[in-house]
Chains A and B, each alone.
Chain A
């Protein structure tokens, strides 16, 4: 291909990958049921090289798919057939740490966990902790506005970044800061899924490590009682650092896998983590234990090791469920917490309707559901059925006043669900915003925002005709 020749001519040969073998590792992200090889993959080592890639892609009118570690779960980083993948994993330097201002300036390919590791000596850490944090990059975190288990208290990525430098498709540098006067361009860029610009540097906000951390695990005979306990904790004026729920299926799977000591007979499990100054944590712990006094079982972590063991069950819920089924599909809807019991009831009905098992893990503090649908991709039609089940769950979340995605992003996965959450006027605004930054639609085109045409078609045919085969790959 001509563009590959041009890339090879202008860039060091070792950073340009081409051919089936070399580009295969980049053919998908965490949503691995969809795969597509790009024309070429470029792994720049400098910002100037990114500029060159963008200039060449613009010249050849070739789409650019920016990629961090490829851990995203919604297909945001899947290549397009005629695209160049711009992988930023080699830009992995922590440029500076300012322990007084509690900030760090990092390149986009720096892994989430390595920021916390690097600043630990100052008693600081980077708060957002997506479950992929040992692998995922900060550039990807900003592009997706990633969350984690501590968002209710410490916020999402958008709350924990100070400045982002980007390159526009024209190769122009733009610095967006939290304290800029006027429009919230930094917030607009955060979560824009690689459609508006290429992130080249991030200044993150660092948080003081808490003096004390305490974990309580409570089992309940009824899901509703567990949901009520969450409400009562927050109504008591406590904001736990983490507040996680699991349903009976998830509890059993996790216990089989991690032997964390969870009550197997419980219908719902609550993990409540408190952190802060020692006196405050002790006072809150008393309050929480009082609120949870009706629980069917109650465990307080005895020490740091015990706390880690208790978390291990929750943290291994995905692989634990994965062991029970050849494949599983992870959803990411959010709902107002007060509807939790209703939504779980409806999901259970849908599970029966589709004949597919589902385990629920839930960031209860911020209303973020992660139903895991168990399926077998080798059974004809089962993936399609699973996706339809998933879309039904997301529609349910919207109908209860929530959202189709809390932290994973839209990518290609939730394009259809977007049609349910937004009206055509709103989608049109999104397309126009993209055009302000990228009029020729070269940055990750076709992702994150569905075409109005697609939504119109779905509206007419989605009910009984099932999903179109690979619609996202054919309609850019």
Chain B
């Protein structure tokens, strides 16, 4: 189903045995899991050009964000091939991770949790906001994302190519990833 508010997302997480999260244009994996379509949970929540800060719902398209920012001669500090911000967050990459400031998630137990915030500097608690970038929808539902944005002139000069090293993780790294899956999604709802 398509969720249009936090309560509906929460309801889905709490009732489904297994759940596959999709955004706009996602490739569906053939599974028995129920589908949670996030593309209608979209829109700009907060945008303060003078703070270089933007908060959006996960289903907001990259295109819409670009248009919003362009009005103030600002732009996203990363490049992405994803069509929504939720998908860009899920797929990850170092550039995206550099830009993200805060996140509202719903974990596998249906709990609404907030990490990070809307400020540039924030070292309270572990950096869950950046940890979950690249979690591919397997640890939690990403509901809202706060980002640092830049004046247009600074984007061209800071943009670098994004080259995630896809390699077989070490046994220890795999063990840690499995442990973290247990923390955020102990009943393995997200597939």
Binding site for B on A (CB under 8 A): 144-145, 147, 151-152, 155-156, 158-159, 168, 172, 174, 177-185, 187-188, 190-192, 196, 231, 234-235, 237-239, 334-338, 363, 365-368, 401-410, 414, 417-418, 421-423, 425-427, 429-430, 432-433, 435-437, 448-449
Contact = CB atoms under 8 A, between A and B. Distances in A.
A190 B52 contact: no
B165 A334 contact: no
B124 A336 contact: no
B123 A405 contact: yes
B4 interface: no
B16 to A, nearest CB: 20
Interface stretch (B19-27, B31-39, B56-64, B177-185): B177-185
B126 A188 contact: yes
Interface string B125-137: 1111011111110
A187 B128 CA distance: 8
Nearest to A422: B125
Interface of B: 48-53, 72-73, 92, 94, 97-98, 107, 111, 113-115, 117-128, 130-136, 139, 150-154, 163-167, 169-170, 172-173, 176-177, 179-180, 182-184
A358 to B, nearest CB: 20
A341 to B, nearest CB: 14
A293 B139 CA distance: 52
B98 A159 contact: yes
Contact of A404 (B113, B124, B153, B177): B124
Contacts of A159: 98
14 contacts: A181-B164, A183-B134, A183-B139, A185-B131, A185-B173, A239-B52, A334-B122, A336-B48, A366-B120, A403-B119, A409-B123, A427-B125, A429-B183, A430-B126
Given A178-B94, A429-B184, A238 B151 contact: yes
A39 to B, nearest CB: 28
A410 B125 CA distance: 8
Contacts of A422: 124-125
A180 B92 CA distance: 10
A418 B94 contact: no
B151 A237 contact: yes
Contacts of B152: 237
A192 B132 contact: no
B50 A338 contact: yes
A188 B127 contact: yes
A70 B176 CA distance: 29
A159 B115 CA distance: 18
Given A181-B165, A429-B113, A337 B50 contact: yes
B118 A336 contact: yes
B52 to A, nearest CB: 7
A172 B151 CA distance: 43
Contacts of B72: 235
B168 to A, nearest CB: 10
Contacts of B128: 188, 429-430, 433
Interface centre among A145, A185, A238, A404 (most CB of B within 10 A): A185
Contact of B111 (A156, A181, A234, A425): A425
Among A168, A335, A337, A408, max chain B CB count under 10 A is at: A337
B92 A151 contact: no
B90 to A, nearest CB: 11
A191 B183 contact: no
A168 B171 CA distance: 13
Contacts of B173: 174, 185
Given A235-B50, A367-B119, A401-B117, A145 B127 contact: yes
